[in-house]
């Protein structure tokens, strides 16, 4: 694949996880602009797109067998621009949510299509490298745009949604440089005979859970900073961007660190994420918040590509597109459920403090690490015995 085609393909990474987060700096201004709106609905401006990703996500495989993948990406980017920029011109909160739903539908077309193209066209370490770069681009792209979003939020919430116009550049790149990629010609299994390994199902659920925990940053940071008198409206953009810088660093480092730490990398990442949430739970200064969200982003920047790498390792090639769609479905569904997760933890702890939620998450992650370590050792010992 030519370098220009690789760049065009990888540039689409910023439309996925990052695409839903770009509205994060607008959460507080929207709460002020629509004072009668439930706080949960305001948070859904960030996460409702993740729910509406699901319908088109499961259509992508069938569409890929009928239409050129390039045409699917072009259609997805057109919907992305409409759904992303649309809220800037709406005067009712309901119509803002409708536009965010359209944004979700577009991501459901784009995300599995370009991830499947990476899985089909790259193998081994090159695939691992592409997945790491993809996550890094997502992180650094998000950092840049959310920094501008934080600045723009000080002018008003409508201006935040205008930042989605960047997708126009991606639209041009795809048309100009991406090959046509004809409809998939690989012989497909009958739907009823597709069997995915049980271990993959665990990977998919785990991918959804750690994505949900990372989503606690964009969905809760604005109100957390406001309630605790930390920073300003613009700080939300800076700090969310700093979390995405962590994602960028983690994505670049994942290939080398997975070679160095092997199976120990996952519990190490979970421990780093737990430390980030502990620090955030005790944070009272802007710099402490910055360090904590960077740690959380760093862990997610490694965990996310590891999910794709492990999926490609354990799932048969004929089932790979189906598996990617299922894993992304878990990721986006859990992102949508993130605000409900927070409300559930608050009810369980009988508190309305976001700090308490962060500490509960840190505790759960620490317990997971303690449980996970013996499993890693057992699998390592079993592998050694099978080789001897």
- Tell me if 188 is assigned to some domain: no
- Tell me if 191 is assigned to some domain: no
Please give the pLDDT value at position 190: 44
pTM above 0.85, yes or no: no
SS3 194: coil
Please give the pLDDT value at position 171: 95
Query: Per residue in 74-108, pLDDT tens?
Result: 999 999 999 999 999 999 999 999 999 999 999 98
Please give the pLDDT value at position 117: 84
- Tell me if 359 is assigned to some domain: yes
Query: Per residue in 23-80, pLDDT tens?
Result: 878 888 898 999 988 888 888 898 788 789 888 887 877 787 788 889 999 999 999 9
CATH number of the CATH domain containing 376: 1.20.1250.20
Q: Is the CB of residue 115 less than 8 Å from the CB of residue 324?
A: yes
Lowest mean pLDDT among 185-199, 242-256, 270-284, 314-328: 185-199
Q: How many domains are there within the chain? A: 1
Q: Is the CB of residue 272 less than 8 Å from the CB of residue 142?
A: no
Cα–Cα separations (whole angstroms), residue 39 to 35, 43, 328? 9, 6, 27
Element (H, E) at 73: helix 69-85
Q: Residue 302: which pLDDT band, with cuts at 50, 70 and 90?
A: very high
SS3 16: coil
> Which of 6-20, 164-178, 219-233 has maximum average pLDDT?
164-178
- Tell me if 190 is assigned to some domain: no
Q: Residue 188: which pLDDT band, with cuts at 50, 70 and 90?
A: very low
Q: Is the predicted pLDDT of residue 201 greater than 80, yes or no?
A: yes
User: What CA–CA distance (Å, rounded) separates 176 from 88?
Assistant: 29
Please give the pLDDT value at position 192: 45
- Tell me if 187 is assigned to some domain: no
Q: Over the range 110-129, which residues count as b (16 or more CB within 10 Å of their CB) and which as e? A: bbbbbbbbbbbbbeeeebbe
Query: Per residue in 349-383, pLDDT tens?
Result: 888 788 999 999 999 999 999 988 887 676 666 55
Cα–Cα separations (whole angstroms), residue 196 to 145, 186, 199, 201, 321? 37, 18, 8, 8, 11
Range of the domain at 323: 3-182+196-387
User: What CA–CA distance (Å, rounded) separates 294 from 247?
Assistant: 8
User: What CA–CA distance (Å, rounded) separates 251 from 313?
Assistant: 18
Q: Is the CB of residue 14 less than 8 Å from the CB of residue 142?
A: yes
- Tell me if 189 is assigned to some domain: no
């Amino acid at each position: 694949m030519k370098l220009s085609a690789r760049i065009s393909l990888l540039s689409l990474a910023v439309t996925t996880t990052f695409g839903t987060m770009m509205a994060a700096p607008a959460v507080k201004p929207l709460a002020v602009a629509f004072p009668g709106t439930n706080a949960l609905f305001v948070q859904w401006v960030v996460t409702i797109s993740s729910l509406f990703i699901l319908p088109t996500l499961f259509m992508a495989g069938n569409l890929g067998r009928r239409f050129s993948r390039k045409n699917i990406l072009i259609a997805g980017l057109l919907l992305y621009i409409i759904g992303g920029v649309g809220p800037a011109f709406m005067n009712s909160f309901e119509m803002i949510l409708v536009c965010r739903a359209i944004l979700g539908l577009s991501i459901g077309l784009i995300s599995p299509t370009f991830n499947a193209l990476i899985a089909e066209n790259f193998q081994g370490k090159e695939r691992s490298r592409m997945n790491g770069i993809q996550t890094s681009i997502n992180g650094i792209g998000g950092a840049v745009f959310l920094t501008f979003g934080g600045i723009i939020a000080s002018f008003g919430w409508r201006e935040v949604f205008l930042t989605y116009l960047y997708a126009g550049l991606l639209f041009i790149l795809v048309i100009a440089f991406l090959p046509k990629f004809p409809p998939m010609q690989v012989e497909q299994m009958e739907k009823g005979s597709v069997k995915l390994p049980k271990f993959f199902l665990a990977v998919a659920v785990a991918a959804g859970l750690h994505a949900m925990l990372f989503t606690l940053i964009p969905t809760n940071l604005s109100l957390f900073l406001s309630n605790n008198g930390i920073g300003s409206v613009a700080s939300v953009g800076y700090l969310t961007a700093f979390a995405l810088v962590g994602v960028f660093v983690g994505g670049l480092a994942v290939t080398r660190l997975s070679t160095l730490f092997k199976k120990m990398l996952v519990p190490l990442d979970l421990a780093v994420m737990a430390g980030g949430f502990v620090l955030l739970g005790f944070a009272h200064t802007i710099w402490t918040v910055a360090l904590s969200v960077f740690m959380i982003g760093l862990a997610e920047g490694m965990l996310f590509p590891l999910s794709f790498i492990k999926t490609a390792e354990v799932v048969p090639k004929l089932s790979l597109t189906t598996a990617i769609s299922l894993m992304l479905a878990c990721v986006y569904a859990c992102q949508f459920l993130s605000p409900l997760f927070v409300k559930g933890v608050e009810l369980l702890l009988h508190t309305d403090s976001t700090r308490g939620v962060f500490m509960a998450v840190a505790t759960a992650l620490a317990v997971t690490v303690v449980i996970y370590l013996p499993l890693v050792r057992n699998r390592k010992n079993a592998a050694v015995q099978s080789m001897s």
